[in-house]
Structure formats: C-alpha cells, structure tokens
Copies of this chain bind each other. A is one copy, B any other.
Amino acid sequence: MAAKYVYFFGNGKAEGDAKMKNLLGGKGANLAEMTSIGLPVPPGFTISTEVCTYYYANNETYPATLDGEVLSHLAEVEKIMGRTFGDPVNPLLVSVRSGARASMPGMMDTILNLGLNDVTVKGIIAQSGDERFAYDAYRRFVQMYSDVVMGMDKHVLEHLLEQKKEARGAHLDTDLTASDWKELVAEFKAAIKEELGTEFPEDPKAQLWGAIGAVFGSWMNQRAITYRKLNNIPAEWGTAVNVQSMVFGNMGNDCATGVAFTRDPSTGENYFYGEYLVNAQGEDVVAGIRTPQPINLFQKKDGDLPAMEEVLPECYTQLAAIRDTLEKHYKDMQDIEFTIEKGKLFMLQTRNGKRTAKAAIKVAVDMVKEGLIDEKTAVLRVAPSQLDQLLHPSLDPKAKKEIIAKGLPASPGAASGTVVFTADEAEAAAKTGNRVILVRIETSPEDIHGMHAAQGILTARGGMTSHAAVVARGMGKCCVAGCGDIKVDYKNETFTARNGKLVKKGDMITLDGSSGEVMLGEVPTVSPEMTGDFGTLMGWVDSFRRLGVRTNADTPHDSKVARQFGAEGIGLCRTEHMFFDADRIAAVREMILSEDLEGRQKALNKILPMQKGDFIGIFREMKGLPVTIRLLDPPLHEFLPQEEKDIEALAKSMNVPAQQLRNKIEFLHEFNPMLGHRGCRLGLTFPEIYDMQVQAIMEAACELVKNEGFTIIPEIMIPLIATVSELKELRANAVRVCDEVIARYCVKVEYLIGTMIELPRAALTADEIATEADFFSFGTNDLTQTTFGLSRDDAGKFLPFYVEANLLPEDPFVSLDQNGVGKLVKMACELGRGTKTKIKLGICGEHGGDPESVIFCHNTGLDYVSCSPFRVPIARLAAAHAALGGATDTTK
C-alpha cells in the first residue's frame, strides 16, 4: 500500500484528529477534530508534515503519489460543496494555509480565494450576485499570491491601488467600484509580468501547487530557521499544508466574521468573550479599520454597536453551544475563529487560547472545580515564567509609553518618580513623601540609604550583578542597570537619553525593571494581586513537587517576604550586605584600614554584636527553617569609597589623613576583582574575620535555642573554594569557634559546614571537596562567569549582540547553560555523592528562580533551589512541572 500523505475532513467525517498534531500540524489536527465532533467546518484536506520532510530530503520534490491524492481529495471537497475547482459557472475557491505543530512566525500564513481567474470570477459573480465582491476577492487573491508565492514586491501593487484611489477621488477601499477592482486586477497582472517577467498563473491547479510549494519553501526561510533555533524546534518536524474550501463573511449583511475566546483571556472569568463584524473578511476584525462589535449582551457596553446575539441570534445560539462543546471536548479555554456566510455558521479554527497569568490561574482552578481537569493538569496549565507578572507591580498594558532609553532588566517591577542624582536627595525627598527615582552612574555602599528611599534605581553602568542590581533585587525594588543609553551629568543634575533627550532633576520618569525600559513621565502601574485562586493552585503545586525551594535573603524583612511567598528556608544569606548600613560600614572600614591583627580585631569586636543581631532577627523570622549563611565574600575594596570627594569625607570622619586612605585603596586595587582576593581567600589570610562571623552566627543560634526554645541548625557556607585544602583549614577554624561558643552557652546546637561550588575547579574536584563539606550550594552566577570567562558586569557590551545573533540561545546568566555550566554541575553532584552519599545539594545562583533551570536542577537530583523572594512561587511551580514530567505549557 502506498504511503498516505493527504488527510480529508468535511461533512462530519475526518481522517485525522486532535492527537495527530505531529502529522497534520496544530491547525489541521484541530480542523479534523472539529469536523469529527460535528461542528460546521468548511471541507478540505491536510497535506501531512511527512511531505515536507520528503520534500527537503528529496531535493525539493514531492512523492510521486501526492498529485493523485490531492486531486482525489479535492474531488471530495467539490462533491460536498457542489462546486468544481476552475469551473466557469460554479467554481470552488479554496484557502491554503501552513500548519506546523506550533504556530511559527516567519512561515507563510494564508492565501485566500485561490482558484480565481478571469473565467471563474464570472462564476463567483453569478454565485454571489455581487460583481464588486467578486473583483475585490480576485484582486486580493492576486495581491496575496504574487507577494507570497511569486516573490513580488508588494509595494508595487499597493502603489497601483493608491493611484487608482487618487484617480477616483476615493478615500477608502470601499469607495472603489466593481469596475475599479476589475481594472486593478488587470493592472496588477501587467505589473507582475513587467516586474517578474512571468505571467500570473491563470490555471487554478497551477495556483494550488504554487501555493503548496510556497508553504513548504517558507519552512526553510531565514526567519523561520531563526525562530526554530531560538525555540528549539527541530527542522525535521516540518509543516503541513491545509487546503480548505472558502467561505465568505463579506457577501452581504447576512454574513459576518469573528474571533472569540471561550473565557475572558485577561481575567479568566467564565463567560463567552468575542468580537465580530458584519459583512467582513476575517482580516478586517483585527485590522482596526472598523470597530468590532461584541458577540453578546453580557459584554456589550453603552455605546457599543449591536451584539451578534441581537443581530444574528440563531447563529449566536449555535456558536454559544459550540463554545460549550469545544470546552468540554478540549478541556481547555479555546481561541476560535468563525465566519457566517449568508446566515450559515462555519468554524475556521480552534486552538488553546493564550491568556494572562491571572487568567491562566483562574481558568485552571475553575476547570478543576467544574470537573473538567484534575489538579495535575491545572498545575501544568500555568507557565512558571508567567507568574512573574503577578508578583510585582507592572505597567498598565493599556497605557501609552514614551521610551527614552533601555538598560538591563536588573530587578523586576515598575516604578515612577521624579529624578534625583544623590542618595541624600532621595532620602530627603522620601521623608517629605515624594516618590523619586535615584539615577547614578553606578551605585556604591554609600548609596544604600538612598536606594531604600527611592521607588526605583537607574544606573548608567554595571551589569546584572552590579551593586545596584544585587541590592535592588534583595530589596525587591525595581532597577534598570547598565543603561548605556543615558549619559549622566552630575554637575548639571541632568542626564541625556536617546536622541539627545535631556532629563533634568525633578522630571518624572518611569522604570520597567522587567524589560529594562526607561520612560518619560508617569506610566500607570498595576499592583500584584494574590487571589484565592493563586493560593489554591500553589497548594496543589506544593503537593506535587519534590525539589525544595528556599530563598536568598539577607534581612529579617526579606526573610518574611520570602516566607509569605512560600520559601522553605534560606539558601543564601549574604553577610556582606549587612555591612553596608551606615553605622556598620564605619567599623568595617576601620577593620580594613587597620595595619595589624590587633586593630582588625578591635574593629571586628564592634561588628560582632551587630552581626549577631542580624542573625537573631533572621533566625526568628525563619522559625526553625534551615538558614544557610555565607561568610564574607566580596573583596575588601568594595567597602571603600572610590571617588575623591567620598575619600576625603571618609578621611575626615575617620580622622585619618586622606593620603593614607588613598594608599590603602591603591594597595587594594585589583585588575579583576571577580578573580581576586575575596571569598575564602579573605578567610584564609584574615581568619579573624570569619571567626567573628562564625561566632556571631553561633551565639545568635545558641541564645535563641537557650532562651526561646528554638530549633536551629545553622548552615555555615564558605565561598569561592577552589581546593579541598582551603575548605579543610576553614572548616577546622569554624568548628573550633562553633564548639567554643556551644561550650560557653552550655546548649546542644547542631550545625553544618559546607561550601559554594562556584569555580570550575571546585566542580572538577568535588569528590575531594566533599570530604570536608556537609553540603554543596552551586553558585551558578560565578560558575557561569568563570566557565564562560565572562564578567557579568562587563558583558553588557556584547552579550545582547550574542543573543541577537543567535551565538547563544539565551543569556546564560538568566537561564543556566546546561551544556557547559550544567555539565560541571552534574559532574560535581556525581563526584560529591560518590564521596558522601547524603551530601545536601542546592543551588543559590539566580538561576534558582528560572523555570528551565529549576527543571534542570530537579533532573540533576538537587535537593533544593534558592532564589530571590519574589521568584519563590515561580520556582515552586517550575519544580512541580519538573516533577510532573516537564513543562507542557499549553498556552504557548
């Protein structure tokens, strides 16, 4: 038996069904499915994706049997429609559409009215009794076909149309008459001949094969190839071609066309939502020339044109019934297209409807209540990445925006305020109740109070892990960083943006920390809403996931926020951020400037009670949940000012000569601080610093255990380990201090000592390192930097180009590079578990909040991920998706 390449649908019977998406593409499978369940679908057939595969495997030729199959199926369509393709009296017209498994920009979309020529147009005139309609359809066909199939520059024909309108004094297309259109068809064809040197095909079969070839050809055009690469769609999938008899919504006032969602795609509310136009073609609904009308009275507002429910009540009743049928059948919210030709309803498409995060949650939860789907399905219906919309204030999508610059989306959310250029001004403004945006070339520890006070932060320099970005994310505050588009002039208190746009102090701007956009003026924002449905869904999520979700939090406040978002512990508490507070930094600087151990110890003694207080606050907030505390990580020079003005101020306040300070700053200068004297290297060369921190941690724990009856198992984490020898020594030091404190308090407190795995060498020698570690926490930010040899702070100059040029599938700081960095993570897990079966494994890089990376972590067998508080729900949902067998985002 010869292979079957063409699948028929029509008249209540279909050779395919919805499960055959791989073979028939999404559109074809759904047309077949709708036909089978008795919906009124114009008959047609689908040429399967196997033909596409054959076409490219065989030097762009078709299987020998294809021609016969197409003709015999065409004959079936002709039979049902009672019309014949190419017939002068009663001609059949068809549409030709592509249809891959997933809808794909760049592919040839649609050719309508195929089968028209100078002869068949007369038949259409006879059928429709409307010459103007017929010639309008004809010229539309010539335009579409010449553009898409023949490669004609479409502007030439558009120009001819404009000329015609001018000549006729016509303002709109609708002002042109039948003979105008008829003339235009001839002029179009002449222009095509002149431009391309070939005649426009008159033979309907030649037209059909031309259109089929164009669909297959478009599978390999550059845009489609790029899109597939970006979305990991294999070229082998191929596209199907759908050939379907035409129905017309523009044959008169008993005709209409419309699109609808079975529920509100914005809110998820369970009512029938849609728009339609009388006497129109499908493209008119979305083209925006005429105002679409609501389909039902429920939607209709004062001043709206009549609803379809009023104008075509029978068709509406039929459509509403189809809505119910489709939802029950597909068990998901549907996005449908329909056409009414002379009072008869036809379904042209159904597919799962795209929806907002809010709608996705409501639809999923409602459908469980309605018994349509189970909880697992509901969980899989919501894409983790969508949740981000819900967790921060966001710009009102309906608002107008004047974008004046774009930087890195360093910390999500949106905020408006007037521009200030110093932290002090920000603080002063906040005290008088004014909302401000702090604009800096870059921020430093001196700016913390201003960042606290501001609604958002905009910096001209620095990357996704710059001071501004890291601190802002910690605060859950909107930040656009590394915005090279702006040039800040502190002296004149202005910055210039794109096109030289000058923004002065006091001007209102709006930041979108989720897109990196900077806008002039105030753009209204929408607050996040944690509906009851959200809570319901997250309850199901937690019941399905295996992976723990912790948070990165450095303060009691962050810890509290994270717990509200469902964090099950702290995976990364960065102690250095505690040093930036104004009252602390003085002591820290005193320590750094001390030339001997005694001086350092004196300064550390001042810091000790403060650090202890921090930990007491955090331990209390986490109520016995695990807390991983990373010892000091950044190089010491990060705590010293860099600008001459600040150096002098500091010298004065510390009562030391400015030159001494300058010398120290000079001495501490590093060429590559990222690879410098930081992390455990500080702990080894200045053991007193880590000793103080460990003492603060254990005293905090012991006091709470002793006085407040807490259960606490502190997890002490040592950063930037490259060799087991480093960890061995630092672990011994930490154990000594811990045991001293425990003995002093006379309580029993267990503790864990582990390490970051954030350098390739640590991953490569994880078997050795595991001998000294109770846990590993993958610091994938730094691991990505070192594995790629890529400074996140500097990558802004070329990484966007890399992603754009498809040199990287995505920013490896956003989504874990599974092929490279992930290989090290896997290796380290295997080596670590080889040494110590039960070693605890987690990730605390920002990838811990990226859905794809969370799935990778689940599959790699990690115990938990840790992410910023606002991404905890995203990580929980992604973890559930992973446990349920991977993301199956049906809304894509």
Residue interface mask A663-689, B partner, CB < 8 A = 1? 000010011111111000100110000
> In chain A between 675 and 721, which residues have their CB closer than 8 angstroms to a CB of chain B?
675-677, 681, 684-685, 720
Check A675–B801 contact: CB distance below 8 A: no
List chain B residues, Cβ under 8 A from A667.
484
Q: In the complex, what residues of B have CB within 8 A of residue A846's CB?
A: none
B789 touches A675 (CB 8 A): yes
Give Cα A793 to B789, complex, Å: 16
Min CB distance A258 to B, Å, is: 45
Q: A782 contacts the other chain (Cβ, under 8 Å)?
A: yes
Closest B residue to A669 by CB, please name it.
Answer: B461
**A675 contacts B760, CB within 8 Å?**
no
Output the residue of A729, A760, A798 with the most chain B CB within 10 A.
Answer: A760
Q: Are A764 and B675 in contact, with the CB atoms below 8 A?
A: no
Contact stretch, chosen from A6-14, A814-822, A868-876: A814-822
Instruction: Tell yes or no: A339 within 8 A of B by CB.
Output: no
Q: Is A797 located at the chain interface by the 8 A CB criterion? A: yes
Q: Kindly supply a per-residue 1/0 record for chain A positions 809-827, scoring 1 wherever the CB is within 8 Å of any chain B CB and 0 otherwise.
A: 0000000010111011000
Residue of B nearest to A670 (CB): B794
Question: Residue A1 at the B interface, CB < 8 A?
Answer: no
**A677-B794, A722-B820, A801-B684 known; A759-B785 Cβ under 8 A:** no
- Complex contacts, A823 vs chain B, CB 8 Å: 764-765
In the complex the two chains form, what is the Cα distance from A471 to B291 in whole Å? 72
Contact with A787, one of B671, B725, B761, B768 (Cβ below 8 angstroms): B761
The answer to whether A788 and B805 touch (CB under 8 A), given A676-B794, A764-B820, A824-B764, is no
Partner of A817, one of B676, B761, B820: B761
Residues on B with C-beta less than 8 A from A685 are 797-798, 801
Q: Which residue of B lies closest to A799 (CB)?
A: B681
Instruction: Tell me whether A793 and B760 are in contact in the complex, defined as CB-CB below 8 angstroms, given that A725-B806, A807-B684 are known contacts.
Output: no
A790 at the interface (CB under 8 A from B): yes
Cβ–Cβ < 8 Å partners of A654 in chain B: none
The docked-state distance in angstroms from the alpha carbon of A671 to that of B795 is: 10
Question: Contact string, A717-739, partner B, CB cutoff 8 A, digits 1/0?
Answer: 00010110110010000000000
**Interface set, chain A 590-610, CB cutoff 8 A to B:** none
Contacts of A672 in B (CB 8 A): 672-675, 791, 793-794
**A186 on the B face (CB < 8 A):** no
- Closest approach, in angstroms, between the C-beta of A804 and any C-beta of chain B? 11
Residues of the B chain whose Cβ atoms lie less than 8 Å from the Cβ of A275: none
Q: Could you give, for residues 839-873 of chain A, a 1 whenever the CB lies within 8 Å of some chain B CB and a 0 otherwise?
A: 00000000000000000000000000000000000
Q: With an 8 A cutoff between CB atoms, is A160 at the interface?
A: no
Contact of A671 among B677, B788, B793, B819 (CB under 8 A): B793
The complex places the Cα of A738 from the Cα of B504 at a distance, in Å, of 52
- Is A807 in contact with B673, judged by CB distance below 8 angstroms? no
Asked if A177 is at the interface (CB within 8 A of a chain B CB), the reply is no
Q: Which B-chain residue is minimally distant from A827 (CB atoms)?
A: B764
Inter-subunit contact A675/B807 (CB<8 Å): no
With A673-B671, A677-B797 in contact, do A787 and B760 touch (Cβ < 8 Å)? yes
- Tell me if B820 and A725 are in contact (CB < 8 A): no
Output the least CB separation between A668 and chain B (Å): 9
Contacts of A684 in B (CB 8 A): 798, 801-802, 805, 807
Whether B671 pairs with A674 at a CB distance below 8 angstroms is yes
Most chain B beta carbons < 10 A, residue from A484, A725, A789: A789
Tell me, yes or no, whether A786 is within 8 Å of chain B by CB. Answer: yes
Minimum CB–CB distance for A618 against chain B, Å: 28
CA distance A817 to B673 in the complex (A): 22
Closest CB of chain B to A287's CB: distance in Å? 39
Q: Is A808 an interface residue (CB 8 A)?
A: yes
Nearest Cβ distance between residue A673 and chain B, in whole angstroms?
A: 7
Q: Is the CB of A788 within 8 A of B807?
A: no
Bound together, the chains give a CA A675 to CA B820 distance in angstroms of: 17
Residues of chain B lying within 8 A (CB to CB) of residue A427: none
Cross-chain contact A675 with B677 (CB below 8 angstroms): no
Q: Could you say which residues of chain B place their CB within 8 Å of the CB of A797?
A: 677, 685
- Whether B791 lies near A671 (C-beta < 8 A) is yes
Complex alpha-carbon distance, A473 and B153, angstroms: 61
| Among B462, B670, B808, contact of A723 (Cβ-Cβ < 8 Å) | B808
Indicate whether A758 reaches chain B with its CB closer than 8 angstroms: yes
Residues in B whose Cβ lies below 8 Å from that of A805: 684, 729
CA distance A764 to B759 in the complex (A): 14
Q: How far is the CB of A853 from chain B (nearest CB, A)?
A: 16
Q: Which residue of B lies closest to A782 (CB)?
A: B789
Q: Which of B670, B786, B801 contacts A760 (CB 8 A)?
A: B786
- Find out whether the CB atom of B820 lies under 8 angstroms from the CB atom of A729: no
Say yes or no: A798 contacts B761, CB within 8 Å: no
- Residues from chain B with a CB closer than 8 A to the CB of A791 are 670-672, 674-676
In contact, A790 and B726 (Cβ under 8 angstroms)? no
Question: How far is B89's CA from A246's CA once the two chains are assembled, in angstroms?
Answer: 131
- Docked complex Cα distance between A726 and B484 (Å): 24
Cβ A677 vs Cβ B798 within 8 A: yes
Nearest CB of B to A63, in Å: 32
Can you pick out 19 interface pairs between chain A and chain B where the beta carbons lie within 8 Å of each other?
A671-B673, A671-B674, A671-B791, A672-B672, A672-B793, A673-B794, A674-B675, A675-B790, A677-B794, A684-B807, A720-B789, A722-B788, A723-B808, A729-B805, A729-B807, A760-B824, A764-B787, A764-B824, A765-B823
Interface on A for B, CB 8 Å cutoff? 462, 484, 667, 670-677, 681, 684-685, 720, 722-723, 725-726, 729, 758-761, 764-765, 768, 782, 785-791, 793-795, 797-798, 801-802, 805-808, 817, 819-821, 823-824
